Amino acid sequence: KNEVEQSPQNLTAQEGEFITINCSYSVGISALHWLQQHPGGGIVSLFMLSSGKKKHGRLIATINIQEKHSSLHITASHPRDSAVYICAVRSYNTDKLIFGTGTRLQVFP
């Protein structure tokens, strides 16, 4: 079992839909990252969380430390949101990042 699990693996949506991507982890962490990877391969850091909730534009990220779970929400989805969304946790013990396999999102007009 991977230490970081994301669901779903693939997600398709119509433009305007509300989207939720989930991330569960099994190790003690000091921080959790949500990353966006476009087809060209480059990765952009969206959020870094250690507690609570953060919002940036149409994106919202939440984390529940007790339940070892985080969610990434996209409101009013748009085709340009199509990308792979990656959850990564920084292990409290090793200080290294552990990555999920990503959620591939396609938003159709």
Site map 30..59 versus other proteins, x via CB under 8 A? xx-x-x----xxxxxx--x-x---------
Question: Helix, strand or coil for residue 80?
Answer: helix
86 binds other proteins (CB under 8 A): yes
Dihedral of CA atoms 68, 71, 72, 74 in degrees, nearest 10, equals: -170
Site map 10..29 versus other proteins, x via CB under 8 A? --------------------
CA distance 96 to 109: 38
- Residue 85 CB coordination number (10 Å): 23
- Count of residues that bind other proteins according to CB under 8 A: 23
CB of 74 to other proteins, least distance (A): 19
Task: Write down the residue that tokens 């999102």 correspond to.
Answer: 105
Please give the residue ranges that form the binding site for other proteins (CB under 8 A): 2, 4, 30-31, 33, 35, 40-45, 48, 50, 86, 88, 90, 96-97, 99-102
